[in-house]
Structures are given as structure tokens and as C-alpha cells.
Amino acid sequence: MKNNTKYFEQLGIMTSAVNEKQHDSLQAMITEIRKLKKEKNAKILSHYYMPASIQITEELGGIADFTGDSLGLSVNAMNVSADHIIFCGVKFMAETAKILNSSKNILLPDMHAGCSLASSITGKDVIELKRQHPGVPVIAYINTYAETKAEVDVCCTSRNALKIAKSFKEDKLIFVPDEFMGRNLRSVITRETGKEMILWSGKCEVHEQFNKRMIDSYTLEYPEAEVLVHWEVPDEAVNSSLKIRKGIVGSTLDILNYVGKSNAQQFILGSECDLGATLKGMYRDKEFVTPCISCPHMKTITMENTLEALRAIGTADEEKYLVDVPEPILSRAYIPIKRMIDLS
């Protein structure tokens, strides 16, 4: 670990090069984190929106045991054999890991790592929607808190939402909480199945900024680039950009896979800034135009507090990092999450 060449090469590709002082500090933290993971039987799950330094996996000299999108992390959380999972993501993701691993300790390096979208709806809101629309199935995006999940029929991620929506026989569906994602899905689902979708008015504070004006300005500046936009981007921007050029609207993994199959050399990304870092690390020969809009909640997770969470395991400080989902919410929330995984 003295000269962690692979890690710093990958980090240099994903971000700007680090200076000597940062290099030494990162090296010391990586060494201690990897040592503590072995000693305390812990694994680290890292979301694609994490800072690049946290996304790099152990095989490349980093700290992550698994890096993925919401669905990938959910599935992997079920298969982790360690006693402790350090979840480098936001709170609703760590709650999902706890729901799927109730016997394990799930630690979140910063309990303030929230989500504007998850906060836009509550369990009581879902109960009221069900009262207004009796018998209509409720699909909840994974970006919701446990008490909301406990009131719905099934969860979904951006990767499997279309498949799950199509699986229902009913001619009406309630989709919560992302309004823009709902609109983008509705245009496909209504066209292919004729189903009506009842939407909530929640929004992601990052993806809602990728409006038509912004995307149009980048497409004019980079006329040869293909467009990569997340389901959570406003539908007006999605429709405008994909009407005039090649590209994709989809999940994080859809975007990663699309780039791998495309012959294009230049892409405009309409998603969280550090997904651009992931793309740069995966496809070194391609160029990514990335308006750097970062999720402030994701970025509260750092290498430093990840290390502190690991150090806390087995001490009196451990409790402040532990994610707790009380009963009966945990058992009730497990059902729609498990349905999601079974349908994926």
C-alpha cells in the first residue's frame, strides 16, 4: 500500500490530479480503512454519486467493496456476509440496506445525508393518496424513507421502474414521489399499455436543474455529442434533447451501458456531477461534457467520516452511526422492496 499506483492513476482519470499533501493524506486513510475492514469484518458499499475517491474499489487500491446504483446496492446489501456494512450513500439507501439486513449493523458516515426527493413525501401522504384512489396500486421510487415504503405496494429504481409498472394488470397506477421521472415514465407506459398514471409533485434538487434551456445550450455548443439524461430530468428537457439527436433517458446503469455500446466519442451528461467521474474512469477514450451539479447530501459523505465510522465499531461512539428502522416499519417496508427485487 505504500505506493498505491492503481488508485491514484484511477483517481487522476476521474478527477484532477491530487497534490503531494493530499496524496499522503489519502494514502494514510486508505491504508487504515482497509486494515479496519478486515479487523472488524466490515464492507463498504458506495453509490455512483459519491466523491470519486470513495468510489474506487479495493481491486484498484481503493476502499469500496461494491460500487453501484440504487438497485445494485440493494441487491448487494442482501448478499454481504460481513457483520457491518458502511453505506456510502444517503440515508434512505442505508435504511434500505438495514431493511434487507435486519441482523447486521448498517453504519452511515453522516446521519445528515438526506435527500430532497425522499423528504417530499411521507407515509401519511401515501395513506391519503390511497384513500383518494381506492384500489389503485402505489409504486414508490426507492428514493423514499422507510416509513413511506411501508405504505406502498412495491418499490422501484430508475433501472426497473418501467418493467415494474408494466407488471400490473390495473389500468391506473400511482407513482411517487418524483414528478419528472413520473412524466418521463408515463409517456412510455401510456403509449405502450394505455395505463393512467397518478403522480406526486416531488423533485430531485439536482436533476430538476437540467432544464431545457441548459441542455439546449450544451447541445448547440457540442453538436456531435450524444445526450445522456436521467429519468429524473424534467421531461421537457428530455423530449427536446432526444428529439434532435441520439442519446438515452434512463437509469444510471442504463447510461453507463449505453456509453459502452455507443460509437460516439463525446457525450453530454444530464445527471449528478460524480457520475461524470465514474464515466471518465470507465471510458478513458471518450469525452464527457458534465455540467457539474452536485448533490449536497451525497457529498456530506467523505473519506474522513467513513474512516471515523469504521473506527467507532465496537466502541461507545458506534451508536451515532448506526441506522435504525424500528418495527413494524421495518417488516412492512421489506415487502415492497423484496417485491421490487423479485420483479427485477
Q: What is the pLDDT of residue 307?
A: 98
Q: What is the pLDDT of residue 2?
A: 53
Domain assignment present for residue 47? The answer is yes
Residue 148: other Cβ atoms inside 10 A: 28
Which residue range forms the structural domain that includes residue 317? Answer: 5-112+298-324
Query: What's the number of CA atoms in the CB half-sphere (13 Å) around residue 265?
Result: 1
pTM: 0.90
Same domain, 11 and 62: yes
Q: Running DSSP on this structure, what letter comes out for residue 225?
A: -
**Which of these three, 165, 199, 233, is where a domain ends?**
199
Q: What is the pLDDT of residue 14?
A: 85
Same domain, 281 and 307: no
Domain assignment present for residue 338? The answer is no
Q: What are phi and psi of 65, to 5 degrees?
A: -90, -30
**Which of these three, 158, 179, 199, is where a domain ends?**
199
Q: What is the pLDDT of residue 18?
A: 63
Domain assignment present for residue 317? The answer is yes
Domain assignment present for residue 335? The answer is no
What's the distance, Cα to Cα, between the start and end of the chain in Å?
39
Domain assignment present for residue 36? The answer is yes
Same domain, 211 and 270: yes
- Could you say which residues of the chain have pLDDT below 70? 1-3, 16-21
Residue 35: other Cβ atoms inside 10 A: 12
User: Which CATH number covers residue 101?
Assistant: 3.40.50.10800
Using one digit for the tens of pLDDT, what is the confidence trace for 162-221? 899 889 999 999 999 999 999 999 988 888 888 999 999 999 999 999 999 999 999 999
**Which of these three, 199, 233, 266, is where a domain ends?**
199
Q: Listing from the earlier edge strand, what are the strands of the sheet with 196-199?
A: 154-156, 138-141, 172-176, 196-199
Q: What are phi and psi of 224, to 5 degrees?
A: -95, -5
**CB neighbours of 272 closer than 8 A, spacing ≥ 6?**
48, 49, 206, 207, 293, 294, 295, 298
Q: What is the pLDDT of residue 246?
A: 95
Using one digit for the tens of pLDDT, what is the confidence trace for 233-252? 999 999 998 988 899 999 99
Q: What is the pLDDT of residue 148?
A: 98
Domain assignment present for residue 342? The answer is no
Using one digit for the tens of pLDDT, what is the confidence trace for 102-122? 989 999 999 999 999 999 999
The H or E element spanning position 230 is strand 226-230
Same domain, 51 and 133: no
Please check whether residue 4 is in contact with residue 33, taking contact to mean a CB–CB distance below 8 angstroms: no
CA distances from 46 to 6, 60, 131, 269, 298 (A): 18, 14, 38, 21, 10
Domains: count for the chain: 3
Domain assignment present for residue 22? The answer is yes
Please check whether residue 56 is in contact with residue 35, taking contact to mean a CB–CB distance below 8 angstroms: no
Domain assignment present for residue 228? The answer is yes
